[in-house]
């Protein structure tokens, strides 16, 4: 935010006035004005002084914040003194003249308009149009096409190919000099565009390429208040945004010191709040770890070499100087090369690359292997291959990134032959297990009818077999596993929508061949879910085992997962309060079945909104049992050195010590419950008054007796106050720090289903500590390494 001298605006601006008129939003030809004010009073246009007040500039600023200038016309050519004039010519050009009637600045429109008018819009856009025309397409000229250092809602950042115009931001030289500064923010690389913040020719930050939803290199996204759009066609290539909430005013500003700030003003407030800064941590700085290095903000030191690489200068790395980067331990193309998949990463910069938008993953892999210079590939808008060093990679600990890259490595770097044999043996064992499981289930499929003497009725007991599906049938149903049929993708591999004919649509979960933990997940999920039957659990229809192929076939959920509703500003409106209560209670009953009522006691370990699927009637079904654990009937707790799950849903005892039980699932359910009530994610939650997570925010509101402020605003017309408060209280009881304080699921179902039940007062939730700007939601402790959503804990046992 720029602070200009207090003399910036006097009671009347120093215009040389020929025809004086009151401040309005329009100006006609040959009319000289004291200034323009937009119709709603948000923006104002006029002359303002800078520096020693000898240099004057024509600009636009917020009327209620006159020191925040959002656009400057004559940045490189100020008016000497305050005696400048501003007018509109008969042919539709805006002109700024000095006291000698010399043209200081002109809009220089090439289009001649018969009846022009200039207008300052409520968006902050200064436009020239024909009086008889309406709409943005009829503008002869507009200030939005020539940004200064601020991007307002509705402005475009990028190219107009029809005119050759490139719209980008340029910082001020300093706080009192609006002339062109050193920093720019623009779209580069027309073949695979990305946003770049640079100081001259030196890149400071890049966004990564657009993936259809967002730029993949951003670590800070505020999906709550903005709708972002990206257009790339024969006419234009640009990025823009709009504000979802009309009561909020926001701007994106490039400061004179090279910071890109998102600032927000709430209606009625007098202070702007910084929502985020583009460079959020050191890993956002361009090339922080040098060539072939990867930045991991969750570890210390933050830089590491990619697998198969070592520091080029070990001495420099030991003193935390990573600029020299890393080099390969073993050259490529000596014998056989393979690929190591790394997930949740920012893709390397596009320095030497090639993209083929029609190739599938296997074709991409084969093409890369044919060229010894190809060092990596990824699927992003097609087949993307890199040649040479890999620059500016970082790891994301946020599960929403879901970006993979395949790093080429000599086969010797991926493990010796004995390890490969073990993997083959493991696959064979799993294949045999699945076949035996199928045979066993087939034998159990015997329908018996028993006559009941007292009522004469009949009951049926069915143990349905688990069918084996033919690979060719599934391949045909997925259009040969086309990417257009992918429903989602996790550590196990992709999930496809398949049409098997006769109106049978299913979901196919396919084990990725290079998924290290996928084989275990497959075995675990088959042996577990085949024995489960509940209306709130997703139904396993069968499996496919042919050659190296391992697939699970599930009932298809047309409405996908719950998170695609409650965190989407448009779709969340379809879930009114009653439906959300039904989803909460249904999920609770499904989890109770797993913990208590099924033949096996099962700990899910990854209960979250994205693992709750919705059927045609939006009924909830718990899915994804890949990392679930079976407990004995007399077992209450387990322990693991490999904590697998999703940050934001893990209980403290599980995330920190690896201890899991039914109470760790209860914690995840509590997080899920508070998310569905609020429509906000626990992970990545931000509040201007504190740095707590959603759980901490709910706890603070509870103590202030303001819990209703947690409610999703779109539920204001459908909620029942008593039910909302009860759900929030149950959620807080579930996320209490100590497992012994949390209720079991039978108590949770009872509390949710009985209005007369007396509920205890909740205690402090887990992870009730304020985050700082450096660690965000990061969980770091001694003896722990973090990769994606997997934590490996090293423990020392007492002797």
Could you give the C-alpha distances from 453 to 185, 460, 462, in angstroms and in order?
Answer: 82, 15, 21
Annotate 360-402 with DSSP letters as a single string.
-HHHHHHHHHH-TTEEEEEESSSEEEEES---SEEE--STT--
Q: How far apart are CA 365 and CA 544, in angstroms?
A: 25
Q: How far apart are CA 353 and CA 439, in angstroms?
A: 51
Query: For this structure, is 606 an active site residue?
Result: yes
Candidates 25, 284, 337, 606; catalytic one: 606
Any idea which residue has 């030497």 for tokens?
A: 352
For the purposes of burial, counting CB atoms within 10 Å of the CB of 34, is it exposed (0-12), middle (13-18) or buried (19 or more)?
Answer: middle
What does DSSP assign to residue 709? G
What does DSSP assign to residue 210? B
Q: How far apart are CA 51 and CA 177, in angstroms?
A: 6
State how beta strands 448-451 and 404-410 pair. unpaired
Q: Which helix (H) or strand (E) holds 420?
A: helix 417-444
- For residues 195 and 186, the answer to whether their CB atoms sit within 8 Å is yes
Q: Which helix (H) or strand (E) holds 260?
A: strand 260-266
Q: How far apart are CA 424 and CA 285, in angstroms?
A: 42
**Which residue in 515, 335, 508, 342 sits closest to 423, CA to CA?**
515
Q: Is 779 left (phi over 0), alpha (psi -120 to 50) or beta?
A: beta
Q: Is 10 left (phi over 0), alpha (psi -120 to 50) or beta?
A: beta
Any idea which residue has 């193309």 for tokens?
A: 333
Residue 450: phi and psi, rounded to 5, are -115, 130
What is the CB-side half-sphere exposure of residue 440 using CA atoms within 13 A?
Answer: 9
What does DSSP assign to residue 351? S
Active centre residues (catalytic): 606
């Amino acid at each position: 935010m720029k602070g200009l001298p207090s003399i910036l605006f006097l009671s009347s601006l120093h215009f040389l006035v020929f025809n004086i008129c009151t401040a309005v939003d329009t100006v006609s030809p040959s009319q000289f004005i004291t200034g323009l004010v937009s119709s709603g009073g948000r923006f104002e246009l006029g002359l303002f002084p800078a520096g020693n007040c000898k240099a004057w500039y024509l600009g636009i600023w917020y009327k209620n914040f006159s020191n925040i200038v959002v656009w400057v016309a004559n940045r490189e050519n100020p008016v000497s003194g305050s005696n400048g004039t501003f007018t509109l010519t008969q042919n539709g050009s805006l002109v700024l003249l000095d006291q000698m009637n010399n043209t200081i600045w002109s809009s220089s429109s090439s289009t001649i308009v018969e009846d022009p008018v200039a207008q300052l819009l409520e968006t902050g856009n200064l436009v020239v149009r024909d009086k008889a025309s309406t709409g943005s397409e009829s503008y002869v000229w507009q200030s939005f096409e020539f940004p200064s250092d601020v991007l307002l809602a509705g402005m475009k950042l990028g190219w107009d190919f029809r005119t050759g115009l490139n719209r980008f931001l340029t910082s001020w030289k300093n706080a009192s000099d609006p002339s062109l500064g050193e920093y720019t923010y623009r779209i580069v690389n027309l073949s695979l565009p990305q946003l770049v913040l640079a100081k001259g020719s030196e890149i400071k930050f890049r966004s990564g390429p657009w993936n259809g939803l967002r730029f993949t290199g951003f670590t800070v996204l505020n999906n709550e208040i903005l709708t972002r759009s990206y257009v790339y066609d024969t006419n234009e290539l640009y990025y823009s945004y709009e504000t979802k909430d009309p009561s909020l005013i926001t701007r994106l500003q490039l400061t004179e010191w090279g910071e890109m700030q998102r600032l927000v003003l709430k209606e009625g407030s007098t202070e702007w709040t910084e929502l985020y800064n583009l460079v959020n941590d050191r890993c956002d700085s361009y090339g922080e770890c040098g060539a072939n290095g990867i930045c991991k903000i969750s570890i210390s030191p933050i830089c590491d070499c990619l697998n198969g690489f070592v520091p080029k200068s070990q001495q420099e790395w030991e003193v935390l100087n990573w600029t020299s980067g890393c080099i390969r331990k073993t050259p490529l193309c000596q014998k056989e090369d393979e690929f190591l998949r790394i997930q949740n990463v920012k893709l390397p910069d596009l320095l030497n690359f090639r993209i083929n938008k029609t190739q599938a993953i296997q074709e991409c892999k084969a093409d890369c292997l044919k060229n010894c210079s190809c060092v990596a590939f990824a699927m992003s808008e097609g087949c993307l291959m890199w040649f040479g060093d890999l620059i500016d990679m970082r790891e994301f600990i946020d599960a929403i990134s879901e970006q993979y890259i395949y790093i080429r490595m000599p086969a010797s770097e991926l493990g010796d032959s004995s390890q490969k044999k073990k993997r083959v043996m493991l696959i064979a064992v799993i294949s045999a297990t699945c076949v035996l499981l199928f045979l066993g289930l087939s034998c159990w499929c015997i329908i018996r009818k028993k006559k009941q003497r007292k009522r004469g009725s009949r009951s049926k007991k069915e143990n349905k077999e688990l069918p084996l599906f033919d690979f060719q049938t599934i391949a045909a149903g997925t259009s040969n596993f086309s990417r257009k049929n992918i429903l989602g993708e996790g550590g196990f591999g992709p999930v496809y929508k398949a049409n098997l004919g006769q109106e049978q649509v299913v979901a196919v979960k396919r084990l990725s061949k290079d998924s290290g933990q996928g084989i275990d997940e497959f075995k675990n999920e088959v042996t577990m879910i085949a024995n489960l039957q509940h209306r709130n659990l997703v139904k396993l229809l069968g499996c496919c085992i042919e050659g190296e192929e391992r697939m699970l076939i599930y009932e298809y959920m047309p409405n996908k997962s719950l998170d695609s509703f409650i965190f989407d500003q448009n779709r969340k409106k379809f879930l009114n309060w009653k439906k959300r209560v039904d989803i909460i209670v249904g999920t609770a009953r499904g989890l109770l079945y797993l913990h208590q009522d099924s033949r096996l006691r099962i700990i899910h370990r990854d209960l979250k909104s994205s693992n709750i699927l919705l059927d045609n009637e939006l009924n909830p079904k718990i899915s994804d049992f890949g990392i679930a654990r079976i407990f004995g009937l007399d077992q209450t707790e387990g322990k693991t050195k490999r904590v697998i799950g999703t940050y934001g849903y893990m209980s403290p005892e599980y995330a920190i010590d690896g201890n899991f039980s039914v109470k760790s699932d209860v914690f995840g359910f509590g997080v899920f419950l508070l998310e569905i009530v609020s429509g906000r994610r626990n992970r990545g939650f931000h509040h201007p008054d504190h740095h707590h997570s959603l759980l901490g925010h709910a706890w603070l509101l509870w103590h202030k007796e303001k819990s209703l402020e947690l409610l999703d605003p779109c539920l204001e017309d459908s909620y029942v106050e008593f039910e909302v408060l009860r759900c929030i209280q149950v959620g807080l009881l579930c996320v209490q720090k100590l497992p012994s304080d949390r209720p079991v699921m039978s108590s949770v179902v009872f509390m949710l289903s009985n209005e007369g039940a007396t509920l205890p007062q909740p205690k402090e939730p887990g992870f009730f500590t304020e985050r700082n700007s450096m660690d965000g939601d990061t969980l770091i402790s001694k003896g722990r390494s973090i990769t994606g959503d997997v934590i490996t804990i090293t423990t020392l046992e007492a002797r």
